[in-house]
Amino acid sequence: MTSKQITSAYFPNTRLRRLRNKNFSRRLISETSISANDLIFPIFIIDGINIKQAIHSMPGIYRYSIDQALYIAEECLNLGIPAITLFPVIDSNLKTSNGIESINPDGIIPKCIKEIKKRFPELGIMTDVALDPYTSHGQDGIIDDSGYVINDTTIEMLVKQAVIQANAGSDIIAPSDMMDGRIGIIRNNLELNNHVNTLIMAYSAKYASAFYGPFRDAIGSANNLKNSTKLNYQMHPSNSNEAIREVYLDIKEGADMVMVKPGMPYLDILYRVKEKFEMPTFIYQVSGEYAMLKSAINNGWLDNNKTIIETMIGFKRAGADGIITYFALEIANLIKHNDFI
């Protein structure tokens, strides 16, 4: 028997590599696609004028004064990115144990929302509801003498913060605090204040992760938090079923969208949440993920374009309807110029 006969006899008629052979066929059979519509870009807002301040632990990401943030908002709009999310960088003199600056209607985030909406009303704005940027201790809520975050007292502040943000024009209220019951109370208060169409994206499965370090550097809370833990309200990385319970409760209380955070270490959670609830489900590719990848890219160890697109495909494949990522501008540019795998 000749080698040709052996090959013919033992190889199947179906050769999956045929479909992978050329670019056009790879595009035709692609099961997962990425577009600018999938992206939300986080922007750090600092008080002042004409400020673009580099964040050492997040190469290529900056803190912007409101006037400079307007240029970034316009860039997002031009690239087809549907929404941005805003995070405040608060002067240390304004940080208090109860985070009272978070409910200042003339604070930096309400002012920023108003300015962006005035210029670019069609751009979606998401705002963080939590106290950690505003507290002197760096926790996401109000603490007792032992350092424990008091759930219900914290919610009272979060509700006021959410309504102030909605009054300023925020389209999506995003509670990231992980207090029990806060979604339902915020939803009710938004309704009572005639914000019936204001969306809530709940940070539903938010883990107490080591990957948040650069974010805390960006907003200036790392030194406030020091060696304290957030494990008594954020989820432990070992738990999966608990995430399903958290998401279920947030949906029941009125969340319009749910989120899993961080991203890459929690793709199994993302998959389970999307399969279980079939809700609009988002993932946050957090600061540590960005810093880790960007450092490897800048050192020449990873290819920039292929790496960041591959991570996006992974999120989408696992079930994400949208992705909050510091790579959003880069990705949207790659999509615009068809410069990706």
Instruction: Express each pLDDT in 274-297 by its tens digit.
Output: 999 999 999 999 999 999 999 999
Annotated binding-site members for Mg(2+): 246
DSSP 284: E
Catalytic site residue 117?
no
Rounded to whole angstroms, the Cα distance separating 334 from 86 reads 23
Q: How confident is the model at residue 223 (pLDDT cuts 50, 70, 90)?
A: confident
Annotated binding-site members: 246
Q: Residue 329 has what pLDDT?
A: 98
Angle at 242 between CA 241 and CA 243, to 5 degrees: 90
Q: Residue 10 has what pLDDT?
A: 60
At how many degrees (to 10) do helices 66-79 and 108-119 cross?
Answer: 40
Q: Which among 73, 165, 49, 43 is positioned nearest to 110, based on CA atoms?
A: 165
**What pTM does this model have?**
0.94
The whole-chain average pLDDT of the chain stands at 94
Catalytically annotated residue among 230, 261, 274, 294: 261
Catalytic site residue 206?
yes
In the beta sheet, which residues pair with residue 284? 324
CA distances from 110 to 68, 97, 157, 166, 170 (A): 16, 21, 16, 9, 8
Q: Which domains does the chain have, with CATH numbers?
A: 32-336 (3.20.20.70)
Rounded to whole angstroms, the Cα distance separating 297 from 280 reads 31
Q: Tokens standing for 69?
A: 């943030």
Mean pLDDT of 72-78: 98
Q: Residue 304: in which H helix or E strand, if any?
A: helix 304-318
Rounded to whole angstroms, the Cα distance separating 182 from 290 reads 29
- Looking at the predicted structure, is the pLDDT value of residue 6 above 90? no
Mean pLDDT of 212-222: 91
Catalytically annotated residue among 95, 206, 230, 316: 206
